[in-house]
Homo-oligomer: A and B are copies of this chain.
Amino acid sequence: MNVLIVFAHPEPASFSAALKDEAVATLVAAGHAVTVSDLYAMGWNPALGPGEFAHDRADPGFLDLSREQEHAHRRDSHAADVRAEQAKVAAADLVLFHFPVWWFGMPAMLKGWVDRVFSRGFAYSAGRKYERGHFKGKRAMLCISTGTASTLYEPDGVDGDLLHVLWPIHNGMLAYTGFTVLPPFVAWMPGRVDAGERASYLAAYRERLSELDNVEPLFFHPWDDYDETQRLKPGVVARSGVQWNPER
């Protein structure tokens, strides 16, 4: 397998970095080819904007991002940093997103990687999303750490069900672009537990990575369950991956 790890944490000695290093070691030992995009170390620019298309604008007078992204994709004129990341995604069978949960989501660094790299034309286009998405056949998984306890992320927890919190990522970025989405690996409050528990998280992650083929992906309704307005057909009960099962 070709594996791409997209990693966003500013501290190289953080537990997030340890999880990333564990993934690299485990996957390489298993014979996979691993590429890491360490966004802070790369000095990634997370702000999608006009700089993206500076040398070849479809319309220099008005920045229509969808239009400029399609134009840049067609002419292979995206900024060099975007093209480099797109090549990594294109080559990957599995993409792992490693990040600490900040404000119920990705750090801006990583959100801006998605904003820029998952451009129209490359990651989605008219009629090609979800089950018909560009990344059909690839798998994706989040490896995250939290600042609070798991109880807060249970269905009746104050932060909300974990999969509810992650819905914009799982459904909106990954299922949307065609990925098969594996359930997330979560290290709860690694900053507040002792070294033994942190070692247990690393061991559990090693195990998860060694059995990816046996992990049941999150469920998302197939395209045929939706009508022409992209709402579920009458009689179809909504059960896309929104309820976290701690036993999984």
Contacts and interface: CB of A to CB of B under 8 A. Distances in A.
Interface stretch (A18-26, A103-111, A201-209): A103-111
Contact of A107 (B10, B104, B115, B171): B115
Interface residues of A, number: 59
Q: How many copies does the complex hold?
A: 2
Nearest to A8: B47
Contacts of A155: 238
A172 B103 contact: yes
A107 B47 CA distance: 8
A158 interface: yes
Interface string A208-246: 000000000000010000100111100010101010000
Interface stretch (A27-35, A76-84, A146-154): A146-154
Given A47-B46, A151-B229, A165-B167, A173 B40 contact: no
A191 interface: yes
Contacts of A106: 111
Given A62-B11, A151-B229, A155-B238, A48 B107 contact: yes
26 contacts: A10-B47, A10-B49, A10-B63, A11-B50, A11-B64, A40-B49, A48-B102, A103-B114, A104-B171, A105-B111, A107-B112, A107-B115, A108-B108, A108-B112, A111-B112, A152-B231, A155-B238, A156-B231, A156-B238, A158-B226, A158-B231, A159-B172, A160-B171, A160-B172, A164-B167, A167-B167
